[in-house]
Amino acid sequence: QGHSQALMSSEVHRSGDYSCVHPPYKVHLVSRSPLVMYLEGFLTAEERGHLQELANGQFQQSAVAGAAGAAAVHSVRTSQSTTVPRDALVRCIEDRAIALQGFNMPASHLEPIQLVRYGPAQHYHYHTDWFTDAAAHATAAQGGNRASSIFAYVRAAAAAAAASDTSKANASSLTGGGTNFPLLDVPLRDERWCRFVDCDDEYEHGVTFRPVEGNAIYWENLLPLEGRRTRGDQRTLHAGLPVVSGEKIGMNIWTREAPLPPSVRGE
Ligand SMILES: O=C(O)CCC(=O)C(=O)O
Ligand SMILES: [Fe+2]
């Protein structure tokens, strides 16, 4: 009796034998300005496994938005990426991203969830998630700019060995691959942070988050100007540092200022 009441009062969506049950993740404030929050346990092991299945065989060389407005494959981002189709589990993660941001933003503000994969030596050089070339990428018709980012660690492990491959190279666990925010001026002095951030890092280098499976970083990309105008916050500059060994898979959820056109958002 108590059990079924608990199920009824929490939000449970069913689709086939899948139920959307949000994990009780913990939020740790990293910075008030820019707003950065650390989300411990944002993705469950089931979700991480399912996301990797959806992406299996789909990864392609990542594109970077180029100055001419065309997506260009560029050495600043040597990882591979893919968007994932929106099934019941992916919708569950989207619901969580909306709830985190105050419930009242429609799902149409969310870009399709993107996964990004890095092998040894692969990295994403310093960039902002907000578009610096707003005229090309952030018009009202395109949903405006990227108001917030959620970056989660889906996989941080030894590379999945090919069945035929017994070499030791594939067996080494993930080293490197942190997410560095060089302009984030927040000395995280409590040693409890050291599970999540690189406490050995030089003070001048801002904050480097360790790739910890299931955990995520949330931050806001834009600062208000007068009226409804906004500008990008340069302090959100960040990089995916080079992976040294193993494999890293991350998940991006980008929230736009306004609804995306259905052609971008999908169903
Ligand atoms: O890989 C990382 O740690 C960061 C990735 C990133 O910033 C992005 O995909 O926009
Ligand atoms: Fe980024």
Closest CA to 154 of 110, 195, 198, 215: 215
**CA nearest ligand 1 atom 4, residue:** 240
Q: State the average pLDDT for the chain.
A: 89
Q: Are 63 and 83 in contact (CB under 8 A)?
A: no
Q: Please write the tens of the pLDDT for every residue from 221-251.
A: 999 999 888 999 999 999 999 999 999 999 9
Pocket of ligand 1 (CB under 6 A): 116, 124, 129, 151, 179, 238, 240, 250, 252
Instruction: Supply the residue whose CA is at minimum distance from atom 2 of ligand 1.
Output: 240
* The pLDDT of residue 231: 95
**Which of 149, 151, 249 should be mutated for ligand 1, with most atoms under 8 A from CB?**
151
- Which residues are CB-contacts of 17 (< 8 A; sequence separation ≥ 6)? none
- d(CA 264, CA 260) in angstroms, rounded, equals 6
Q: Is 154 in contact with 48 (CB distance < 8 Å)?
A: yes
pTM summary value? 0.89
Q: With contact defined as beta carbons under 8 Å apart, do 175 and 245 qualify?
A: yes
pLDDT-derived band at 26, boundaries 50, 70, 90:
very high
7-21, 24-38, 86-100: lowest mean pLDDT where? 7-21
Ligand 1 atom with the smallest distance to the CA of 178 is 3
* Mean pLDDT of the region 94-117: 96
Which ligand has the shortest distance to the CA of 128?
Answer: 2
Do 19 and 91 touch, CB atoms closer than 8 A?
no
Q: What's the pLDDT at 181?
A: 97
Please name which ligand lies nearest the alpha carbon of 123.
Answer: 1
pLDDT tens track for 146-163 = 999 999 999 999 987 655
pLDDT tens for each residue of 39-72: 999 999 999 999 999 999 999 988 777 655 455 6
Query: What amino acid occupies position 228?
Result: R
Q: How far apart are CA 5 and CA 92, in angstroms?
A: 21
Among 234, 235, 246, which Cα is nearest to 210's? 246
- Going from the Cα of 249 to the center of ligand 1, the distance in angstroms, rounded, reads 10
Q: Is 199 left (phi over 0), alpha (psi -120 to 50) or beta?
A: alpha
Bridge-based pairing of strands 179-181 and 207-209 is antiparallel
Rg over alpha carbons for the chain, rounded to the nearest Å, is 19
Instruction: Give, using CA atoms, the residue closest to atom 6 of ligand 1.
Output: 240
Distance set, CA 19 to CA 26, 163, 186, 222 (Å):
21, 32, 38, 34
209-219 in b/e burial notation, b at 16+ Cβ within 10 A?
A: bbbbbbbbbbb
| The residue count for the chain | 267
Confidence grade of residue 106 (pLDDT, cut at 50, 70, 90) = very high
What does the pLDDT average to over 98-119? 96
Number of H helices, E strands in the chain: 5, 20
Q: Are 145 and 256 in contact (CB under 8 A)?
A: yes
Distance 257 CA to ligand 2 centre (A): 17
As a whole number of angstroms, the distance between CA 143 and CA 126 comes to 24
ipTM score over 0.95, yes or no: yes
The amino acid at 265: R
Q: How far is the CA of 140 from the centre of ligand 2 (A)?
A: 21
Residue (of 253, 57, 78, 62) closest to 160 by Cα position: 57
